[in-house]
Amino acid sequence: MFDITWFFQRLDWWSVLDILLVTLTFYWFLRLIRGTQAVQVLRGTVILVLAMALAASLLPFRAFGWLVANALPALLVAIPVIFQPELRRALERLGRTGAYLTTTREPSTADVIEQVSIASTRLSDRRHGALIVIERTTGLEEYIETGIKLDSQVSVELLLTVFYPNTALHDGAVVIRNGRAVAAACVLPLAGGTISDRQMGLRHRASIGVTEQTDAVAVVVSEETGIISVAHNGRMIRRLDGKRLRKTLQALFPQPVQPTFGSVMRDVRDRVGNALGNEKT
């Protein structure tokens, strides 16, 4: 049985500092890859390593155990190659101060959906092309870095100004993260080489391309026809009006139901009534 007193007797200030440095290193690394596709890569790597280690230790397979024992060191060598963009980004940010100290109030997803829906409807009426990408679980940091940083609250006026024709930021995508427009004029990957995709415009192909590689949701307004479309999982829903666009985004970004005072009181009343009814019977 583990004796915790033995542990604290050997714990000195150097050990505490050592544990703190290791903790800060892991925190810095996780903070670095947050918001990028490397999170999914790291998660898959950890699951694969744990599964292989458990299988090698629990199952009586000598050859598989030898394979795991020799593959893990090679995997550690491959980590710098896998996370090369994130490590390069970390070295670039070493000289920056205050990058991790700023905190902003994040608006609710419902507010963002409302602003995007109204702006898309107005852009459609004016025949102004637009491409708005809303980040979900998979980070879009590599695409954000190709554009111009905004870090602004999402509003109808902002989106109408960005996508006004012949302005400096209209040619590209606006990326929304945590309820804020973090960048504009972002370059996105194009869709695959199917015939139907090739017949689409660049905005539509870019919206499908980014949703093929990530779980983001893209809203597209056609510059030629004014048609509003939504891309998700590499597929596109076309010919949406403002009401259908709002419902589609609400379905893709469901809001947790917050209990109101009236609903809580009704629940209490129903429970009390059921309890009294059970006592009478």
Residue type present at position 36: T
Q: Are residues 118 and 188 in the same domain?
A: yes
Percent of the chain with pLDDT over 70: 72
CATH number at residue 126: 3.40.1700.10
Is residue 264 in some structural domain?
Answer: no
Higher model confidence: residue 87 or residue 53?
53
Are 69 and 182 contained in the same domain? Answer: no
pLDDT at position 272 over 60:
no
The answer to the question of residue 275 being in a domain is no
Q: What percent of the chain has pLDDT over 90?
A: 41
Q: Are residues 212 and 128 in the same domain?
A: yes
**Within a domain: residue 67?**
yes
pLDDT value of residue 160? 97
Whether residue 114 sits in one domain with residue 89? no
Query: Which residue type does 116 have?
Result: V
Examine residue 225 and state whether it is found in any structural domain, yes or no: yes
Q: Are residues 170 and 245 in the same domain?
A: yes
268 pLDDT above the threshold of 60: no
Residue at 154 is within a domain: yes
Is 169 among the domain residues?
Answer: yes
Beta carbons within 10 angstroms of residue 248's beta carbon: 20
Are residues 40 and 129 both part of a single domain? no
Q: Is the pLDDT of residue 157 over 50?
A: yes
* Mean pLDDT, residues 25-49: 72
Q: Could you tell me which residue, 137 or 43, shows the higher pLDDT? A: 137
Query: Mean per-residue pLDDT for 37-59?
Result: 75
The boundaries of the domain holding residue 53 are 4-93
Q: How many domains does the chain have?
A: 2
Q: Which is more confidently placed, 108 or 171? A: 171
Give the span between the Cα atoms of 188 and 172, in whole angstroms. Answer: 8
Run of H or E residues at 219 = strand 217-221
Give domain status of residue 152, yes or no: yes
Which comes out higher in pLDDT, residue 126 or 2? 126
Q: In this predicted structure, what is the pLDDT of residue 105?
A: 45
Q: How confident is the model at residue 63 (pLDDT cuts 50, 70, 90)?
A: confident
**147 and 223 assigned to the same domain:** yes
Q: Report the C-alpha gap between 14 and 31 in whole angstroms.
A: 25
C-alpha closest to that of 152 among 143, 140, 161: 161
* Residue scoring higher pLDDT (24 or 228): 228
Summarize the confidence of residues 9-28 as an average pLDDT.
82
pLDDT surpasses 70 at 65: yes
The pLDDT score that the predictor gives to residue 279 is 47
pLDDT tier for residue 227 given thresholds of 50, 70 and 90:
very high
CA–CA distance, 157 with 206 (Å, rounded to integer): 24
Q: Which among 17-31, 68-82, 240-254 has the top mean pLDDT?
A: 240-254
pLDDT score recorded for residue 101? 42
Q: Which helix (H) or strand (E) holds 229?
A: strand 228-232
Does residue 70 carry a pLDDT above 90?
no
Residues 168-220: pLDDT tens digits? 999 999 999 999 999 999 999 998 765 455 568 899 999 999 999 889 999 99
Do 211 and 77 belong together in one domain? no
In the sheet with 173-177, reading across from the earlier edge strand, the strands are 148-153, 180-186, 173-177, 130-134, 217-221, 228-232, 235-240
Residues 62, 124: one domain? no
Which of 60, 93, 126 terminates a domain? The answer is: 93
Instruction: Specify the pLDDT at position 59.
Output: 77
Q: Work out the average pLDDT over 6-24.
A: 80
> Average pLDDT in the 245-270 region?
70
Residue 272 located in a structural domain: no
Same domain, 197 and 224: yes
Q: In whole angstroms, what is the distance from residue 227 CA to residue 120 CA? A: 10
In this prediction, residue 97 carries a pLDDT of 46
How confident is the model over 1-30, as a mean pLDDT? Answer: 76
Cα angle at 111 between 132 and 228, to 5 degrees? 35
pLDDT score recorded for residue 119: 97
| Average pLDDT of span 85-105 | 52
Whether residues 137 and 165 fall in one domain: yes
* DSSP conformational letter for 145: T
Do 58 and 137 fall into the same domain? Answer: no
